[in-house]
Structure 1
Amino acid sequence: MAIPPRLDEAKSPGFSGTAEAGLVAKGRYVAQLGDCVACHTAPGGPEMAGGRALETPFGTIYSTNITPDVQHGIGGWSYAAFDRAMRHGVTAKGHRLYPAMPYPSYAKMSDEDMAALWAYLRQGVPAVAQANQPLGMHFPFDQRWGLAYWDAVFADKTPFVPNPQKDAIWNRGAYLVQGLGHCGACHTPRGIGFQELAMSDLGSKGKLFLSGAQVEHWNAVALRDLWTVPDTVEMLKTGQNRFATASGSMTDVILHSTQHVSDPDLVAIATYLKSLPSDTAKTAAPVAAAPASAAASAAEPPAQLFTSAGGLGYTQFCTDCHRPTGGGVKGVFPALAGNPTVAAQDPATLIHITLTGWKTVSTGAHPRVYTMPAFARLSDAEIAEILSFVRQSWGQGAGPVAAADVAQARQQLDPKVDTSAFETPRLSKLLAEPNAQQLVRGMRLNAETHLLLPKNVGNDLNCTSCHLNAGTVADGSPYVGVSAFFPSYAPRAGKVITIEDRINGCFRRSMNGKPLPPDSDDMKAMVAYFDWMKGNTRKEDKVPGRGVGKVDPKIVPNLANGEKVYGAQCAVCHGQNGEGLKDAAGRTVYPPLWGERSFNIGAGMARTYTAAAFVKRNMPIGFHEKFPLGQGGLSDQDAVDVAEYFTHQDRPDFPDKVKDWPKDPKPKDARY
């Protein structure tokens, strides 16, 4: 159906009756390009019925109902009224819209796209009888008549005009970015009147267009010549690329809009963005791109990782996902090396994510959502130290983060603080001890066991494979108070053992290796680290979060379900065949769960119900918002099923198994 350029409804065929199905389908695509649903749908509410809170410096605006409901939506509007609202910011009743509605951008829309959008909203969206919420703006900004002056001074309603010196792909990208995509609404700085300082790359202020801005305490990065065309397309399509993973309001844009955009249009958008000149230093790519099954970077860890408070804080709370090298885990956890959010002059997004947490966006390419929990339990100074370390290591010269900046953001964001009883020891405090060097060595022997003690470790595991975050996580076999309980009777050994005996038991079983000499410097360092973790704990004390908890041994394992759970929840980190995950340099990222490089049948983790208890509380990581790893969350049945599945796969034998449980009953789930 031909759509005439005139806006007079009486002379526009198709609007007095039913529009063609093709026009409605095109309108749906236009709505996706314009990301209408992101703003006009409240969380959990009906689509396009409005009610989403949009925060501004002047108060809160609630998006309006744009379904075809006659009373509350646009069902009683004419096409001319709709077009006027979209291009000029004036409703059918004559009310002026706040520029949170990006009508200066939509003024660049073609008549064809506008007509298609109208057809879709009238015929492709169900009517919802939901009243619009009143404004939450402060005086005098709640007086709409003042918007006429704003409009006269600031509103740039210049229609899009193709650049004859550019090709069709560039012009298509420019049209989508400047118009329907309204990318400048977030990524262009605003002036004193909250106006975008540039609506396109033309004119004296054109260099400000898409040069970055702060939106609702998020730092919207500069988009000018940010990445290559394929990198930008990948980000818009999947929510992540080799440099970064989407965060903040950009996740909604990808969820509702860009993942649905056609590949040719994504290439056009990326081509246009790449063409925009930038004075900002280019983001460096990770040192070595990883194969599809590996982590991202083959770089070495920063030298200050174990010598600074920020580095030790990062070691404790960040390395399990972002890795000691800052390389992240491809397709799972974002890299920090080469990440524009890390290198941004404004650290607002880093602080925001750290205080409130973060989730990946679910896209067709990456449907599983991974979560970073909020770290608001850490003090302002601790967060500042960690983020300063991150920016010093991978920020390409980005400045440090001040504790005052974190405090200000905390006040503004009012994040939820974890209140669990377990008090997580801080590795950063090791540096204040008189034997700091020995303690840091002991901690590193836990975190990097198979690298630092290759003669004693016979597989790819570290102590921290089972004792999460170097033994500092509740219900993750923490070391807190452990040394206070030794010497103690061990049923498996049938005698009283020392803490050195217990450590060597792990070397022989969990690490399928050889014991450390009890009087060696490395054993002394490990014991010193455990003693530091003991704190004031006495043998008779009960330590919250000690051990891994229990799972009812009466639960009957379902092996078939266990295999399904493993494929859905575990394989991404531990491999389809239990082989684990390595980075591009061959370093173990996540350990193998079976095979010759895993724990042997004498390990406690080879027992179904011990493994199930650990899995129940600690696996997978990034599963929800539990501090500090988003760990655990499977049902008891699923935990037992998947534990039965992986514990009974082939693994090394333990020759001394015949000596186990000489006096006490053998557990029913022992592998021998």
Structure 2
Amino acid sequence: MKKQFSSLVAGLSCTLVMMMATPVMGQRFSEEMINQGRYLATASDCIACHTSDKRKPMAGGHAIDSPVGRIVATNITPSRTFGIGNYTEQQFADAVRLGVRADGARLYPAMPYTAFSYITDEDIHALYAYFMEGVKPVDEPTEPTELPFPMNIRASMIGWNFLFANTRPFEPDAAESELWNRGRYLSVGPGHCATCHTPRGFTMQEKTGKALQGAHVGAWFAPDITSSSVNGIGSWSVEELMTYLATGRLEGKAQAAGPMAEAVTHSFSRLREDDLRAISTYILSVPPSDPIPSVTENRFDHGGPGDLLVDFRGTSYEDGMRLPGLGRGAQIYSANCASCHGYEGQGTRDAYYPSLFGKSITGGTSTANLIAVILNGVERETPQGGHVFMPPFGDQDNAMVPLDNDEIAALSNYIFTFYGNPGLSVTPAEVQVIRDGGPKSDIVLIARIGLAAGVLVVLGLGVWLFRRRRANWG
């Protein structure tokens, strides 16, 4: 009897240890909790970065072009071998909100934990439930991120986080409405709007004093979305912004492309109408950006119909490519763009192929997005807006007609002159920058110089101390 009791105790103890060591095994979440987590993951647009193969959601592998190099998104399926299947809920929370992996290594802020730090404990619990039981495990590794020295030292993020990471949970503003507070939570937290739309400083930190005033995101430029009626979207109504977020287009003003098209496809278009209203209400309340002396006209008011067809009518394409001034750009436009966007840039009547004038992409202060659209094309798909596609003209395998840097520069200048901001111009060198993934930061070089200087200072101090002690010994 005593032996049987001892065996029973030993068995129960072993079971208890196994339950503590395996946080998910045997633990089941309700469908309601899993669906809540799925919705929050959608609001956070996790799939856009963590999916490179649509057949394997959240399995990672997607490479993100950053100013310091390519960062590869990891496998965040519940795979116990290559994913996060062994994470406890606390480890999951630390990764999402603090940028600390289960093994203690630091994540790079390409994973927007600086924004996700605002996510509440309740929502973290729901996200954990979804990722552990609502995502199919994929037992495949991802390519490791290999940044240049010293950016490859992940421990350096400890100091960066101390200086710039948010440590305060989201706090509702009692002076604002429940709708506004919900919009602020979704925008600054899960939606991480500031991650793309807020300019960054020398050390790649967000300039919080210039929230949502526009910034480069790889090859693209996330424009000013403050309430400024000149620089931002202050001329939009709440309903118009809701339409744009739900469909990716606002007729006569904007079409989502690049990272924003991904966000519309995978995230915003899947959100409830009340949450879209909350986000739009908050965004349109963000203080306007500082005036720019050279900018007096809203970016949605530039350009108009026009063409230079008469300059090359009756000439061959080869002869047209030798035309002076804007003639070459006009020839390229006629051969590659006019069949969809119209000979005067007017688009189609149903606006499926948009007009090129009166748009953010052609009327803003940055040339990056037009170049990036020509190089990379456009693709988005939403329940309300259908499937929108424009082929790329870069060097991709599926490129319509590959254009070189000179041709894209000539085409861009023609489009800006007639259909957009005539004060902008593009050079072949600028096209190459966008082709290479966007502007790079000098922080790598400066960090190396700083480290070298630090080593020299330490060595110099060591020599001085050695000589001083040697003199004292004498």
TM-score interval (norm. to shorter): 0.7 to 0.9
Aligned residue for 2:213?
211
Q: CA deviation at 1:271?
A: 1.5
Q: Does 1:302 align with 2:306?
A: yes
Conserved in 2, the CA contact under 8 Å of 1:89 and 1:103? Answer: yes
Conserved in 2, the CA contact under 8 Å of 1:332 and 1:370? Answer: no
Distance between the aligned counterparts of 1:324 and 1:246, measured in 2? 23
Aligned residue for 1:64?
74
Distance between the aligned counterparts of 2:379 and 2:197, measured in 1? 20
Instruction: Please give the residue correspondences for 1:471-490 in structure 2 after superposition, counting only pairs within 5 Å.
Output: none
Aligned residue for 1:36?
46
Structure 2 CA distance for partners of 1:96 and 1:409, relative to 1, 3 Å: closer
Q: CA deviation at 1:262?
A: 0.7
- 1:136 is paired with a residue of what secondary structure? coil
Conserved in 2, the CA contact under 8 Å of 1:388 and 1:399? Answer: yes
- 1:144 is paired with a residue of what secondary structure? coil
Q: Does 1:270 align with 2:286?
A: no
Q: CA deviation at 1:285?
A: 5.9
Match 2:136 to one of 121, 126, 130 = 126
Long gaps (5+) in structure 1: 1-8, 199-204, 287-298, 414-672
Structure 2 CA distance for partners of 1:412 and 1:101, relative to 1, 3 Å: closer
Q: CA deviation at 1:252?
A: 1.7
Aligned residue for 1:228?
237
Instruction: Please give the residue correspondences for 1:289-328 in structure 2 after superposition, counting only pairs within 5 Å.
Output: 301-302=305-306, 306=310, 308-309=326-327, 310-328=329-347
Q: CA deviation at 1:93?
A: 1.4
The 10-residue stretch of structure 1 (210-219 or 25-34) with the greater mean CA deviation from structure 2: 210-219
Structure 2 CA distance for partners of 1:303 and 1:175, relative to 1, 3 Å: same
- 1:337 is paired with a residue of what secondary structure? coil
Structure 2 CA distance for partners of 1:73 and 1:301, relative to 1, 3 Å: closer
- 2:71 is paired with a residue of what secondary structure? strand
Conserved in 1, the CA contact under 8 Å of 2:254 and 2:360? Answer: yes
Aligned residue for 2:298?
282
- String of CA shifts for 1:434-461, please: whole Å, max 9, x gaps: xxxxxxxxxxxxxxxxxxxxxxxxxxxx
Distance between the aligned counterparts of 1:255 and 1:368, measured in 2? 10
- 1:301 is paired with a residue of what secondary structure? coil
- 2:41 is paired with a residue of what secondary structure? helix
Structure 2 CA distance for partners of 1:412 and 1:62, relative to 1, 3 Å: closer
Conserved in 2, the CA contact under 8 Å of 1:213 and 1:220? Answer: yes
- String of CA shifts for 1:112-149, please: whole Å, max 9, x gaps: 21111111111111222122432221111111111111
Conserved in 1, the CA contact under 8 Å of 2:364 and 2:421? Answer: no
Aligned residue for 1:643?
none
- 1:61 is paired with a residue of what secondary structure? strand
Distance between the aligned counterparts of 1:48 and 1:375, measured in 2? 28
Conserved in 2, the CA contact under 8 Å of 1:306 and 1:312? Answer: no
The 10-residue stretch of structure 1 (91-100 or 390-399) with the greater mean CA deviation from structure 2: 390-399
- 1:326 is paired with a residue of what secondary structure? coil
The 10-residue stretch of structure 1 (231-240 or 381-390) with the greater mean CA deviation from structure 2: 381-390
- 1:368 is paired with a residue of what secondary structure? strand
Distance between the aligned counterparts of 2:180 and 2:422, measured in 1? 33
Aligned residue for 1:333?
353
Q: CA deviation at 1:15?
A: 10
Aligned residue for 1:444?
none
Distance between the aligned counterparts of 2:334 and 2:83, measured in 1? 53
Rg larger in 1 or in 2? 1
Q: Does 1:342 align with 2:362?
A: yes
Structure number having the greater helix percentage: 2
Aligned residue for 1:240?
249
User: Which residue type is aligned with residue 306 of structure 2?
Assistant: P
Match 1:393 to one of 399, 418, 430 = 418
- String of CA shifts for 1:85-136, please: whole Å, max 9, x gaps: 1111111211111111111101111222111111111111122212243222
Conserved in 1, the CA contact under 8 Å of 2:304 and 2:358? Answer: no
TM-score of the two chains, using structure 2 as the length reference: 0.74
Aligned residue for 1:405?
430
Aligned residue for 2:270?
260
Instruction: Please give the residue correspondences for 1:427-576 in structure 2 after superposition, counting only pairs within 5 Å.
Output: none
Aligned residue for 2:383?
364
Distance between the aligned counterparts of 1:26 and 1:152, measured in 2? 32
Distance between the aligned counterparts of 1:263 and 1:381, measured in 2? 45
Structure 2 CA distance for partners of 1:325 and 1:91, relative to 1, 3 Å: same
Distance between the aligned counterparts of 2:389 and 2:61, measured in 1? 27
User: Which residue type is aligned with residue 51 of structure 2?
Assistant: T
- String of CA shifts for 1:568-625, please: whole Å, max 9, x gaps: xxxxxxxxxxxxxxxxxxxxxxxxxxxxxxxxxxxxxxxxxxxxxxxxxxxxxxxxxx
- 1:55 is paired with a residue of what secondary structure? strand
Q: CA deviation at 1:182?
A: 0.6
Conserved in 2, the CA contact under 8 Å of 1:223 and 1:273? Answer: yes
CA RMSD of aligned residues (A): 2.7
Conserved in 2, the CA contact under 8 Å of 1:189 and 1:213? Answer: yes
Structure 2 CA distance for partners of 1:305 and 1:219, relative to 1, 3 Å: farther
TM-score of the two chains, using structure 1 as the length reference: 0.53
Q: CA deviation at 1:180?
A: 0.2
Q: CA deviation at 1:284?
A: 3.3
Instruction: Please give the residue correspondences for 1:9-28 in structure 2 after superposition, counting only pairs within 5 Å.
Output: 17-28=27-38
Structure 2 CA distance for partners of 1:411 and 1:180, relative to 1, 3 Å: closer
Distance between the aligned counterparts of 2:36 and 2:331, measured in 1? 54
Aligned residues: 382
Q: CA deviation at 1:407?
A: 4.3
